[in-house]
Amino acid sequence: MGLWGLPLALVGGALRVSAPYLFVSLGECLTEKSGRINLGQEGTLIMGAMSGYGISYLSGSAWLGVLAAGCVGVMLGALHAWLCSLQRVNDVAVGIALMLLGIGSAFFLGKPLIQPSAPRLSALELGSWSQIAPVRAALEINVLLLMGIAAAFAMRFFFQRTRWGLLVRIVGEDADAARAMGYDANRVRFFATAAGGFFAGVGGSFLSLYYPGSWSEGLSSGQGLMAVALVIFARWDPVRCLWASLLFGGAGAIGPALQSIGIIGGYNLYATAPYVLTLVIMVATSSARRTLVGQPAELTVAR
């Protein structure tokens, strides 16, 4: 294979690694469109991974695990939304708290799940036409990723073409205007945050049920947080979240890809590539003087 192995491993890695980014960023996009930031998505992701694996192990059905992960995500999202609806409660701080709570609970409840192996999601072998093993390996795609891609386009349609999507945008742009129209901003945000939690939970189940495909305490390393930054980069547009997720997935695959062609020195540094990329993008796209294009106006009020 030689040097061709590198881009191939990057593409394969991007397709494998990007799904959690995609799901969490879609969920966060929905939440932020309603005018709230949920930093707890990292905790939701890990709780989703743990509960998805647990239910898959207990029930024998991986898809039931995915559903359970989504439900746990809904609960955590609803908790965040409820806490933030109280007066004087800061959504960013609550997010950090729920992140720690989610991680702690997942490690606590997930202790018995480290040993057993649960049924995993199967892959679609899109590369079966090829004789070359790495090509086939790179093109193994999970159905969940395809659903995520579909969800990205569906969510764009939801925001642009549906009544409810418009309502979420109104609440995110100007809660007072929504109130004047007779809508309860807190209610809309509750549903948006809970639904956002569903996405993050499903993203977590991808981690434990497909890639890397087991439950361990080192499963997530800040994907949920990076997804929050990714939404800023994607300018609060679901389809751009998709492209950004693929980019981040590719960056996350740099380390393993270099390893696969025999470069192992500095592994810890390559592993920071997604974080560095996120940071560089944030620095490049932010500005002290103007608010970001496409940013829901309520997010700046809360700062």
Binding site for another protein (CB under 8 A): 39, 83, 86-94, 96-98, 100-105, 107-109, 111, 176, 221-222, 225-226, 228-229, 232, 265-269, 271-272, 275-276, 278-279, 282-283, 286-289, 301-303
> Of the two residues 245 and 278, which places its CB atom closer to another protein in the complex?
278
List the Cα angle 30/211/231 in 5-degree steps.
Answer: 25
Residue 292: count of CB within 10 angstroms of its CB: 15
> Of the two residues 89 and 124, which places its CB atom closer to another protein in the complex?
89
Instruction: Give the residue among 186, 189, 204, 225 at the shortest CA–CA distance from 144.
Output: 204
> Of the two residues 97 and 261, which places its CB atom closer to another protein in the complex?
97
> Of the two residues 87 and 131, which places its CB atom closer to another protein in the complex?
87
Q: Least Å distance between CB 287 and another protein?
A: 5
Cα separation, 82 vs 295, in Å, equals 23
Tokens of 87: 């007066």
Cα separation, 257 vs 7, in Å, equals 8
Q: Which residue has the tokens 């929050």?
A: 228
One-letter amino acid identity for 248?
F
Q: Least Å distance between CB 248 and another protein?
A: 12
> Of the two residues 3 and 180, which places its CB atom closer to another protein in the complex?
180
Q: Least Å distance between CB 88 and another protein?
A: 5
3-state secondary structure of 88: coil
Contact 26, 162 (CB under 8 A): no
> Of the two residues 60 and 294, which places its CB atom closer to another protein in the complex?
294
Q: Which residue has the tokens 């560095």?
A: 276
Q: Least Å distance between CB 258 and another protein?
A: 14
Q: Least Å distance between CB 276 and another protein?
A: 6
Q: Least Å distance between CB 66 and another protein?
A: 24
Cα separation, 192 vs 77, in Å, equals 9
